[in-house]
Amino acid sequence: MAFGLNNTGYLIQTKMINIRIIIVFALAFLGKSGVQASDLYLGAATADISPELPVALMGQFHMRIAERADTPLYAAIVAIESRNGDKGLDTAVFVSCDLVYISAQLRRELRQEVGRRLPGFNVNKIILSATHTHTAPVLEDDPDESSFLYPIPANGVSKVKDYRDLFTENVADAIVKAWNSRSRGSVTWGLDRAAVGYNRRAVYADGTSVMYGNTNRLDFQSLEGYEDHDVNSLFFWDSKGKLIAMSIDVACPAQEFEHKSTVNADYWHPVRMALQKRFGADLHVLGWIGAAGDQSPHSMYRKAGEARMQELSNKSRLDDIAERIIRAAENTYEIVKNDQHTNVAFFHETENLKLPMRVITHEEYLESKKVTEDCATQIAADPSKASQLYAKMTWFGDVLKRYHDQQKHPEKMYESEIHVLRLGDAAICTNQFELFTDYGIRIQARSKAVQTFVIQLAGPGTYLATEKAIAGGGYSAVCQSNVVGAEGGQILVDRTLEIIDSFWSEERQLEIERNL
């Protein structure tokens, strides 16, 4: 198109061309992802969170008292700060814990302690998550805080509050250490495949589902859902180029030893030991669990074949699990180690989502009432049965409380804390639930990020089942297992993705450019 020298259109066109040229040069400066926000300052530490023995363990309906520990329990920490020169832009502190979940009280007490030690620090940027080992201490003993209580002896066993105090003291020390030791560093991300988790819900011809159901039945149809075998990893280096930490995200709870009566970090212990042997004893390894509410390390079929291979290889199932994860992390490291980033887009948003609570039907109320009363009657007749029945009684009893509250407040919502982050081309999102894997796949499949990490049990854990699972029933998909139903699960997915998408929006791009 031709323009005259005095043509207004010519002037407009010229300005538009100049603007486009500026944008092109800006994008070239910002890098291939179109963004370069800030320098990263990183610190890492690990806290020993092993309990005093004997201690009551969490994770089964029957009470277990651990007299010994097979392994230590740890909380590994990475502190991240983005800066523009001397100006701090955003922060995140990841704390991965060898625990069954993160109770609201434990999180609250830790944040208060860190706030006391680091005045002015935004403690809501602290993200605690659990590996979901079933051989770690009980965290709650208050009926108003928990629906799952044990009759822990008053004497001769560590008190629940004493363990929370120990955890808070040691982890706060480590967070302060990680924060104060941060220096300019670099990060990269990558993934590999390793089959660790099995879908643990068997589906039968009548449409019912059973957790750990027998697959050697004539009416067995299928396993209910998908298995996510991607192992996502993040690697962190300090200012001297030393690898200081890595986080490994596996969509399978740490429950190979879930029925033991000893303290045990499960498969994360040999994973940590092997990676520290290769990369240095001071490497901090964060174990993250992806969306895995319907997953388990226990095989559901071909068990005889696996047992034969273990015998011939002279390896335990735990050895096999650990080796798969180690191999995936090391393979990923070798591929991405030369793609380190010191200047990346870094955003961290936290939000208290309001999710619709699962509705308790009158039939479910009556069933729970019957079970609760039956357990109470048995315990009254024979107090020794309390160790087997007390947790079951309180679990079903919580449904009664929810039902009565539902009658008074039918529109009541459940508040759930989430964290969503952008770290370069990767997105990281958390939820508090034992989130069924299909939800995690929905997030990863729709995410704008090159790679998306989903971290479950970053808070008080209850199962969050899919519509398909709820229709099939069975433990983990019944009302006793679910505070939030499938509608809330989809809201969680959609809102998480809205925030992830916003990190790649034009508005965020302008924010990045303002910080240059």
The Cα-based distances of 354 to 101, 461, 491 in angstroms read 20, 16, 9
- Indicate the helix (H) or strand (E) that contains 232: strand 230-237
Look at the pTM and tell me if it is higher than 0.85: yes
Mean pLDDT estimate for the chain: 92
Crossing angle, helix 486-502 and helix 437-446, to 10 degrees? 30
Among 163, 101, 115, CA closest to 458: 101
Q: Are 288 and 249 a contacting pair, CB within 8 Å? A: yes
Residues in the chain: 516
Q: What is the DSSP letter of 125?
A: G
pLDDT at residue 282, as a whole number: 97
Quote the CA–CA distance of 98 and 269 in Å, as a whole number.
9
Quote the CA–CA distance of 346 and 344 in Å, as a whole number.
6
**pLDDT category, 15, cuts 50, 70, 90?**
very low
**pLDDT category, 510, cuts 50, 70, 90?**
confident
pLDDT at residue 506, as a whole number: 82
Among 426, 451, 456, CA closest to 440: 456
pLDDT at residue 7, as a whole number: 42
Q: Are 134 and 58 a contacting pair, CB within 8 Å? A: yes
As beta bridge partners, residue 154 has none
Single-letter amino acid, residue 253: P
* Residue 8 scores a pLDDT above 90: no
The Cα-based distances of 336 to 35, 182, 236, 422 in angstroms read 19, 23, 12, 18
- What average pLDDT does this structure show over 148-169? 96
Q: Which pair of structure tokens corresponds to residue 12?
A: 């407009």
pLDDT at residue 234, as a whole number: 98
Quote the CA–CA distance of 262 and 492 in Å, as a whole number.
35
Quote the CA–CA distance of 247 and 97 in Å, as a whole number.
12
Single-letter amino acid, residue 287: G
* Residue 305 scores a pLDDT above 90: yes
Q: What distance lies between CA 120 and its chain's CA centroid? A: 27
pLDDT at residue 514, as a whole number: 66
Comparing 11 with 109, the larger pLDDT belongs to: 109
pLDDT tens string 255-278? 999 999 999 999 999 999 999 999
* Residue 37 scores a pLDDT above 70: no
Give me the residue spans of the domains in the chain. 38-355+413-514, 358-408
